[in-house]
Amino acid sequence: MTPLARLLAERIRETGPITVADYMAECLLHPVHGYYTTRDPFGAAGDFTTAPEISQMFGELVGLALAQAWLDRGAPAPFTLAELGPGRGTLMADILRATRSVPGFHAAARVLLVEASPVLRRKQQETISRGHDLGLRWIEGAGDLPEQPLFLVANEFFDALPIHQYQFINGGWHERLIGLQEGALAFGLAEGPTLPYTMAMHHREDGAIIEENRIGRFIMRQVHHRLHHHGGVALVIDYGDWRSHGDTLQALRAHAFDDPLAHPGEADLTAHVDFEPLAEHQPHFYTTQGAFLTRLGIDARAERLARNLTGAALESHRAAHRRLTHPEEMGSLFKVLAVTSDGAPPPPGFA
């Protein structure tokens, strides 16, 4: 039993079962034992590798898409260039490198990073400051974003936000809870039926599970407000579907899938993203990551980079290109949602 598991078991004995959302929040952000607060989870030494870590092409193309969207909207100045959950800072570093030659873009940009982990904030400072002299600023949440034009990216951010789960049993929705069974953490259900605030209420098969990302919806409302009043675009890139159903809670530990209740605080917890609630009737565009990157020109960029590579480096480059775009890898599993302001043109990468 991990140190955090012992603390959670003691809490449950004292106050009763906890929600899946509370469990995820403790596992990921506990100040002493949280997965994100105590380590760098990215790359070979961590438990997962995100698209920016796979290839520089991802961040370059995302950056140029944001810059073109900025130009298409009249190049407002100043504007907020923000990232939610920047990881090691690789994506923002690539965005800034790729957009260095866009006239006026860097001069107008105010770079903001939304990051809770002190470990990752230090890593982001090191990674991003290495390549440019723009000032960086960290904020605690989307509610602290300035009231000005916003160009924002969130890559594999919403999948790590705590979710509530509900199960349809005997004609009613019951919230899924985590309690104790023979001293070990175990799933159970709330006694009384609960009516979840969710868009999936039509899914009523007995035993069905639905998930609700309340924090994600709150964050996107802050983003929507700024886009509506000041213009801009927000790109959300993550794995999931427009409307997901079922239990998608999963744990990753030492680059392998794990029981979500087995090693709290020592495994990454995520859930598939429902994109429909994040759009929430705002002007939006939606596609797969593979289609998005292909429309942005990743094939030509990959071919150009390949000219200077041979041997193992060339094979690694080709594998990265395939991993980002192929339908059997990240190309179809990962989706891209662009939220814009009324009347704005579609951002680059969308039909």
Q: What percent of the chain has pLDDT over 70?
A: 94
pLDDT of residue 198: 58
List, for residues 245-264, the tens digit of each pLDDT value: 799 999 999 888 999 999 99
Q: Is residue 44 part of a domain?
A: no
Residues 336 and 217 in one domain: yes
Residues 155 and 170 in one domain: no
pLDDT of residue 59: 97
Residue 304 pLDDT exceeds 60: yes
Residues 194 and 220 in one domain: no
Q: Is residue 45 part of a domain?
A: no
Q: Residue 201 — pLDDT band, cuts 50, 70, 90? A: low
CA dist 239 and 329 (Å) reads: 11
Least confident span in 152-166, 186-200, 259-273 = 186-200
Q: Which two tokens stand for residue 2?
A: 């991990």
Residues 74 and 100 in one domain: yes
Q: How many domains does the chain have?
A: 2
The residues, any chain, with a CB within 8 Å of residue 264's CB and separated by 6 or more, are 2, 4, 5, 8, 23, 26, 27, 33, 185
Q: Determine how β-strand 150-155 pairs with β-strand 232-241.
A: parallel
pLDDT of residue 193: 81
Q: Is residue 22 part of a domain?
A: yes
List, for residues 16-48, the tens digit of each pLDDT value: 999 999 999 999 989 899 998 776 665 445 546
Residues 177 and 325 in one domain: no
Residues 184 and 110 in one domain: no
Range of the domain at 149: 51-162+212-340
> What is the pTM assigned to this prediction?
0.92
Q: Is residue 96 part of a domain?
A: yes
pLDDT of residue 134: 81
User: Which whole number is the average pLDDT over 171-188?
Assistant: 94
Chain CA centroid to CA 143, Å: 17
pLDDT of residue 42: 57
The full DSSP string for 63-89 is HHHHHHHHHHTT--SSEEEEEES-TTS
Q: Residue 131 — pLDDT band, cuts 50, 70, 90? A: low
Q: Is residue 37 part of a domain?
A: no
Residue 200 pLDDT exceeds 80: no
